[in-house]
Amino acid sequence: MNIGIVGLGLIGGSVAKAIKQNTEHSVYGTDLKESVIYKAKLIEAIDDRLTEEILGICDMVIIAVYPGETIKYIEEHQKLFQKGCLVLDCCGVKEAVCGRVRSIAAENGFTFVGAHPMAGVEFSGFEHSQKTLFRNASMILTPEVDMTIQDMEKLKKLWVSIGFTNVQISNPKEHDRRIAYTSQLAHVVSSAYIKSPTAEDHKGFSAGSFKDLSRVAKLNPTMWTELFLLNRENLTEEISTMIRHLEEYRDAISQGNEKDLWNLLNEGTERKILIDKNTKK
Amino acid sequence: MNIGIVGLGLIGGSVAKAIKQNTEHSVYGTDLKESVIYKAKLIEAIDDRLTEEILGICDMVIIAVYPGETIKYIEEHQKLFQKGCLVLDCCGVKEAVCGRVRSIAAENGFTFVGAHPMAGVEFSGFEHSQKTLFRNASMILTPEVDMTIQDMEKLKKLWVSIGFTNVQISNPKEHDRRIAYTSQLAHVVSSAYIKSPTAEDHKGFSAGSFKDLSRVAKLNPTMWTELFLLNRENLTEEISTMIRHLEEYRDAISQGNEKDLWNLLNEGTERKILIDKNTKK
């Protein structure tokens, strides 16, 4: 296949490197930064620049930029995709993107599939991209109901070949509801956690739990602001739930209520064990 | 030295194994469970059982049980420690323990030192103890002001020899204030995080941030209930601070306030970078 990649940041760059490493497909990439395209070509992460001409012969186009930019790119290039081309985004929210792009795809005869690779590190940009980023990761796809099985098989094969061990089929609404918790709330909590004045004095007084809790506090504020605001309702609800639970712990502790506190901690432990067990099934 | 270890759980068992592995000291251990003492001797984690007779010839005694049990052990054995013996606890709170034991030590001619090894895993018991548990970890000591430099050197040497790369001198009050944030709040937050109803649906929709945030939700409820209630004031304040910060994020998100949200996330990122930088100094 000829595969186009729009945006060679952490995700797009890693996809390009992984496809070149693991498959025989040709990869064409583009980025806002000329220097990134040049570098990607130099280290053979891409075969060549993705021009408008090459876009017309691509069998698949993977767009790895922010939600707003993704929609803009598709709007501006809608006439240039090959008929039957598989066009994917990589955004962390799906309703806002899929809802806008759906009709454009139908009108122009290409197939749009929402995609969210569940992988990342606390760094961004092509320089941090790596061909092994997706090893053992989960890929969430939110295809339209009329997508063919053949196209889905083609997609699954590609993702598995670059390291994903799980391809999860979902729909935009369900995706956004779950991601508000697993990913977005986790980032909010980490960001809030690091703001305690005591954080400055952690040196020598911290171990694994501090390290884990604070890791994703370092994030890309522009990207996450966009993602959070595109999933407002779900995320607001998750934060409120979290606050309610924290209040239960605080009240039990401040009142010295040993029984309640033990129950709260025990419930959390049992729940964590149960959830880990279900994951292994 | 002859070293006694009281309680051969995750911490006591790991201390025993690490001392036997890395030093020439003799190790004598005891535990509430006969089977644990038997097993520890069998795999040479201890040289022999710590009897009351042997206690009297120990140069150092490391007590690795819960706070209440630690105080009880010291009260019951106060007459049996050798004069000049170094007696340490391993509790996660220090004021409650050191405050009670201080006068007993002075009256009976042994030296008590509060100790908190900043290492652990989400499992407990001798079967999970490991001789490498303390590799690159931090040991916090809260000695009395009249402790001799010679004794402190002896202690430092022991901890460094079993893997600790940092021996942090503090006092009980300061210890408890900082630990309320780095360790205790982290456990409360993780326990609260796992309680969202959405947690049950995380499979295929989660990656590193979910994994890190939820890791320590699996904890020993009895131990942590005791530790939290012995550090009530500090921990209550940290949870309240955390809730206040979460409310700021929630309000910015629910109001769609892009500027405020960006600032909140950017502040968190800058703070995390600053804190990591200070740690490396």
Domain borders along chain B are: 2-170, 175-280
Q: What's the mean per-residue pLDDT of chain B?
A: 95
Q: Which residues of B32-55 are buried (b: 16+ CB within 10 A; e: fewer)?
A: eeeebbebbeeeebbbeebeeebb
With an 8 Å Cβ cutoff, is A218 touching chain B?
Answer: yes
Answer yes or no: do A191 and B217 touch at CB < 8 A: no
List A residues 96-135 in contact with B (Cβ-Cβ < 8 A): 118-121
Asked whether residue A281 carries a pLDDT value surpassing 60, the answer given is no
pLDDT digits (tens, 9 = 90+) for B105-132: 999 999 999 999 998 777 789 999 999 9
ipTM of the prediction greater than 0.90, yes or no = yes
3-class secondary structure, B68: helix
Contacts of B196 in chain A (CB under 8 A): 181, 185, 238, 241-242, 245
Contact A84, A56 (CB under 8 A): no
A2-170 belongs to CATH 3.30.70.20: no
Cβ–Cβ gap A250/B228 under 8 Å: no
- The per-residue pLDDT for A34 is 97
Q: Is B69 exposed, middle or buried (0-12, 13-18, 19+ CB in 10 A)?
A: middle
Residue B29's pLDDT is what?
Answer: 98
What is the pLDDT averaged over residues B29-46? 97
pLDDT at A280: 59
Of A32-41, A99-108, B198-207, B232-241, the range with the lowest mean pLDDT is: B198-207
Mutate to test the interface with B, among A135, A209, A270 (most CBs of B within 10 A): A209
Mean pLDDT across chain A, nearest whole number? 95
How many CB atoms sit inside 10 A of residue B156's CB?
15
Coil, strand, or helix at residue A73?
Answer: helix
Query: Does A195 sit within 8 Å of B238, measured CB to CB?
Result: no
pLDDT(A207) > 90: no
Q: How far is CA A96 from the centre of its chain?
A: 14
Residue of B179, B207, B239 with shortest CB distance to A250: B239
Q: What is the DSSP letter of B136?
A: T
What is the residue whose two structure tokens read 């809802």? A99
Choosing among B94, B212, B215, B219, which should be mutated to test the A contact, i.e. which has the most A CBs within 10 A? B212
Q: Which residue has the higher pLDDT, A119 or A134?
A: A134
- Which residues make Cβ contacts (< 8 Å) with residue B229, sequence separation at least 6? A253, A256, A258, A261
Residue B280 confidence (pLDDT) above 80: no
* Partner residue opposite A216 with nearest CB, options B206, B209, B273: B209
DSSP secondary structure of A154-179: HHHHHHHHTT-SEEEE--HHHHHHHH
CATH, domain A175-280, list 3.40.50.620, 2.130.10.10, 1.10.3660.10, 1.20.1270.10 = 1.10.3660.10
> Is A175-280 in the same CATH topology as A2-170?
no
Residues B262, B239: Cα–Cα separation, whole Å: 23
Decide if pLDDT at B235 tops 60.
yes
What is the rounded CA–CA span in Å between residue A167 and residue A189?
27
Whether the pLDDT of residue A50 is over 90: the answer is yes
- Please say if the pLDDT value at position A169 is more than 80: yes
> Within a 10 A sphere around the Cβ of B135, how many other Cβ atoms?
13
